[in-house]
Structure 1
Amino acid sequence: MAGKRTVLTAGLRRLAALLFEMREGVELSKEEVSGKTGINVTTLYRIEAAQARPQRRTLMTLLDLYDIEPDRRKYALDLLSDAQKPGMSRPYEANLTEVYSAYINFESEALSARHYQTSYIPGLLQTPQYASAVIDTSMPKVEAAVTESRVAARMNRAIVLTKEEPLELWVVLDEAAIRRVVGGPEVMYGQLGKLVEQSKQKNIILQILPFDAGAHPGMPGSFTLLDFPEPNDPELVYVEGIAGDELIEGHAEIRRFGVIFDQLRAMALSPRDSIALVRDVAEASPGRR
């Protein structure tokens, strides 16, 4: 039986970065730490890469070796407690990829998200019927229970838009996404109506990138930039693709995606004109009764 996987969360990433910083501070290699503590080098690598959650006794051993002062020791232990809490993805992880599960957890703790989508309405703004049609098409020949679980996960994600301190969401959407009929005319009409309603929320900005904008830097594919309220949490980019999804870190890559997003929103219609276009497409939809 396969072991239970560790799904990345913001708390686990924060703890991993702290332990790396502590080890570097005392100028010890992983091999030296292993020799002094008996902790396997591979385990140390996985802990510092946020691929494994350390046990409390392992963490205590490392804190002792690094001679960490009481306040910082408490902070590390608090981070471990935070990392042990189940992320938002926990109820659905059996039917989600590891990267997507991690993304859901990060999204739930993010301050803002800048999202560019080429082909369909972003998950946070989807209706259940639209989400079901998208998932059913992208995951052919899966059991109905798997589709239902993934739809439920997608609907649950939307809580971030209405919580006490909601996610600030800025979406640039290719015009193709509002014109492609997904799930049939009635489903699509309902989805367009939801877009119009959600655009009224103060924390949501929606822009449509029209066909007549021509070639643009987002043509290679969709992506999301996440920013976090904790200063020590670096930005993340989530990239979607047929070959698999990916979470990207690193200042140079983050900056590149940030520049691309700025170019896309400059080329897109204004929020007011974007909603007018969505309304026009909905009015012309055969799904309108």
Structure 2
Amino acid sequence: MPRPFSPTVRRKRLARELRRLRESHDLKLSIAAKQADVPQSTLSNIESAEARRIKPRDIDALADLYEASADVRKALHELARESKEQGWWSKYRDVFRGNALPDFEVEASMIRTYQSQVVPGLLQTPEYSEAVFSGGGAYTSEEIKRHVDARLRRQQILNRRHPPHLWAVIDEAALRRELPDAEIMREQLQHLVNLATHHNIDIQVLPFSAGMHAGLAGSFLLFDFPSEIDPSVVYTETATDSLFVQDADSVSRFVTIFSHLNAAALRTPETVNYIRAILEMHDRHGNF
């Protein structure tokens, strides 16, 4: 089975390659568009990775102008074709809104995440996920079901043949949050202990004793990709919006933040023992 790919990542890769080819011929965008007989607005949209439908004729015209080899031409056509494919998440536009998180997760080789309030979505049990979306009464029963279904579908990347490496730092507050049904939280904590044994999953707890730390600004996900030509991407969200951060300096800042969080958090073996201690406290006293 071929490795899943992200249409968005492929579209950005095509944009960078065509821009590189144009600049290697020292051509301004307007001149290249005119000489290739491609509308300037079309070429601008392709190079900014905003074009969702790219004509094979335009790819051939640009390949001719840039004197691309047969292999490069073939690769450009393949990227253009893959950039317009739709992943399973296209069926959940109501859940993911304008920014489809799985579009990056599906191709990432490493996912680093810091979560301050809840267990990371990729590590949630169905019951815990339902409790998360039920909190606050913001969603109808049908909307909750859609969100939970989409979240469980996202988790499938962790069990495929070549899974990404998930590295999660979780604030202790997320592990001690009380739920109406304490058994849901107990099962979620046990689930984390079980997942920590997987070769592609590292889980660290950031204990209260860490004091003020680098993640106080909020939760985020950091995606790295197998190809060096695909730059890392950061995902953050609020109650009303989500944002993909791609500026190199901003991404580098998040990398530094995660490094500090990693240093302040418990190691994975210590984390497993820590979570087990929380579970034992629950079994003795009935709370976390």
TM over 0.5: yes
What does residue 156 of structure 2 align with?
159
2:66 aligned with 1:66 = yes
What does residue 4 of structure 1 align with?
none
CA-to-aligned-CA distance 1:157-214 (integer Å, 9 cap, x gap): 1111111111111111100010012463122112111111111111111111111110
Contact 1:189 1:287 (8 Å CA) reproduced: no
Contact 1:188 1:287 (8 Å CA) reproduced: no
Shift of 1:19: 1.5
Contact 2:234 2:245 (8 Å CA) reproduced: yes
What does residue 113 of structure 1 align with?
111
- The aligned runs of 1:1-289 (5 Å cut-off) are 9-37=8-36, 39-53=38-52, 54-99=54-99, 101=100, 103-137=101-135, 140=138, 142-182=139-179, 184-242=181-239, 244-285=241-282
Matched residue type, 2:24: G
Distance 1:95 1:268, change over 3 A: closer
Distance 1:138 1:39, change over 3 A: farther
Q: Whole-Å Cα distance in 2 between the matches of residues 31 and 49 of structure 1? A: 14
Shift of 1:152: 1.3
Q: Whole-Å Cα distance in 2 between the matches of residues 156 and 21 of structure 1? A: 36
Contact 1:130 1:183 (8 Å CA) reproduced: no
Q: Whole-Å Cα distance in 1 between the matches of residues 187 and 93 of structure 2? A: 29
Matched residue type, 1:271: T
Distance 1:135 1:57, change over 3 A: farther
| Equivalent position SS for 2:49 | coil
Q: Whole-Å Cα distance in 2 between the matches of residues 59 and 135 of structure 1? A: 44
Matched residue type, 2:112: R
Matched residue type, 2:96: L
Q: Whole-Å Cα distance in 2 between the matches of residues 132 and 207 of structure 1? A: 23
What does residue 3 of structure 2 align with?
none
Contact 1:134 1:182 (8 Å CA) reproduced: no
Q: Whole-Å Cα distance in 2 between the matches of residues 117 and 198 of structure 1? A: 16
RMSD across aligned positions (CA): 2.2
Distance 1:11 1:88, change over 3 A: farther
Q: Which moved more, 1:265-274 or 1:55-64?
A: 55-64
Matched residue type, 1:68: A
Shift of 1:38: 5.0
| Equivalent position SS for 1:237 | strand
Shift of 1:229: 0.9
Give me the TM-score of the superposition, normalised by structure 1: 0.88
| Equivalent position SS for 2:106 | helix
Contact 1:237 1:248 (8 Å CA) reproduced: yes
Q: Whole-Å Cα distance in 2 between the matches of residues 66 and 45 of structure 1? A: 16
Q: Whole-Å Cα distance in 2 between the matches of residues 152 and 61 of structure 1? A: 43
Q: Whole-Å Cα distance in 1 between the matches of residues 184 and 224 of structure 2? A: 32
CA-to-aligned-CA distance 1:108-133 (integer Å, 9 cap, x gap): 11111111111100010001111122
| Equivalent position SS for 1:148 | helix
Q: Whole-Å Cα distance in 1 between the matches of residues 211 and 7 of structure 2? A: 38
Contact 2:7 2:84 (8 Å CA) reproduced: no
Distance 1:138 1:88, change over 3 A: farther
| Equivalent position SS for 1:215 | coil
Identity of paired residues, percent?
35
Is there any run of 5+ residues in structure 1 with no aligned partner, and where? 1-6
Is there any run of 5+ residues in structure 2 with no aligned partner, and where? 1-5
Distance 1:269 1:33, change over 3 A: same
